Chain A
């Protein structure tokens, strides 16, 4: 039976997105008015216009661009580390079934463990510097990469494995020519998850230990009671985070066009 579509609903046009965006803009305007009037103290929430104005200051005086690259550098290093170690450990675990059966649930449990709470410990071990931050990102981002690597390799379609066997491929050839390429999309999902965890933990740790790039900026501005600046910096970090997340999604879709 052919599915007849119901009459054009409002939710099928661009109306919802416009309403959503519009209502947010209106909320900002209302907030501006309420704060200027004084119903909400501007020493608790600065008017949105003042926050927007602070952005200029952030660029010119607080070297936010440099800080952005600093934080990105930390993420990059953490990213390379989780890729290397995550895929490596994942491959090893998948190869040795007993190891996988013994440790996979541990890794899964660690995926939801609050590693970032260990930052004081990491500070003792690595000092109050970039390595603490990078290691925090690394440790919290590792489990998803491992798990997805195992999942990807194990989940290769049986028929592809049989194609390899029909060509009498050796174990190593089978792995590099069939299993690993077939697992790449899933592995990339794991890396994407890992990168997100890494960014969150890296920025969070920068804030907590008051060192580094963007996270430290927020902490700094808060200590100086620069309200508008603090709000602006937080918005900037959120923006960076959102764009990063979107970019990763685009990359994943590009890597997985058939799905």
Chain B
């Protein structure tokens, strides 16, 4: 079941002994504690953990937006030092540019590298179709729903054709049904493009639905607790959630997570008590 780190010869992303430590008013906090793992080309890897376990910190480290950490991340053998052109990020928060139309949003990365106008529009349309927003090219994000806006963000990142798609809880703000349908969409895209994907999430169903492997993190300081191979057949759709094998995987991961999540809750409660008793 739990396999160790697979043969690093065919890994496209290698995270090596990542350690992130902060200074806070209450003393040093270790957000990520010596994590190492690899991602194979075309693989869908989810990193799952309770709130506060440091998974968003990990997202920022791999995305190159966090520089003071120990350890190294490499893509195709090249160590990264800042955002890498082979890694595309999709953020958790609303990140579409409200002043640009859908097509201008999606074409943004193409604009940055100086692609000429006609080619940009064509490329952008391709990805807009892929996320199912054909016909909405000239709308502004303000006219769309939350789920549609996240699809625009996804299309924008895909348009830069990254080798690795890195997503931080992109569907966290959406309702369950929208999330399942969007999950289908992402699966479809991933399978079509053979896109290597690293998904950060706290949602077990989502992780099991979409992943080839799941990496379970402990509560802060975030360490690797377990790696689970998901042996569900591909191609998959959201219908898989009603299967028996699916349920077993979810239960297995929940039993790992519950322990960590309880630790998190207990610590939050003791912090609240501690602060209360300090106020005069």
Contact = CB atoms under 8 A, between A and B. Distances in A.
The answer to whether any beta carbons of A and B sit under 8 Å apart in the complex is: yes
Interface of A: 1-2, 4-8
B3 interface: no
Contacts of A4: 22, 24, 29, 31, 57
B23 A5 contact: yes
B68 interface: yes
Interface of B: 22-25, 29, 31, 51-52, 56-57, 68, 268, 271
Central interface residue in A4, A5, A6, by most chain B CB within 10 Å: A4
Contacts of A6: 22-23, 68
Q: Is the interface of B mostly helix, strand, loop or mixed?
A: mixed
A7 B52 contact: no
B56 A8 contact: no
Contact of A7 (B23, B51, B268, B271): B23
Interface of A is mostly: loop
Given A4-B22, A4-B31, A6-B68, 12 more contacts: A1-B56, A2-B52, A2-B268, A2-B271, A4-B29, A4-B57, A5-B22, A5-B23, A5-B25, A6-B23, A7-B22, A7-B23
A7 to B, nearest CB: 4
9 contacts: A1-B52, A2-B52, A2-B271, A4-B22, A5-B24, A5-B25, A6-B68, A7-B22, A7-B68
A5 B24 CA distance: 5
Contacts of A5: 22-25
B50 to A, nearest CB: 9
Nearest to B30: A4
Contacts of B52: 1-2
Nearest to B21: A7
A8 to B, nearest CB: 6
A215 B239 CA distance: 80
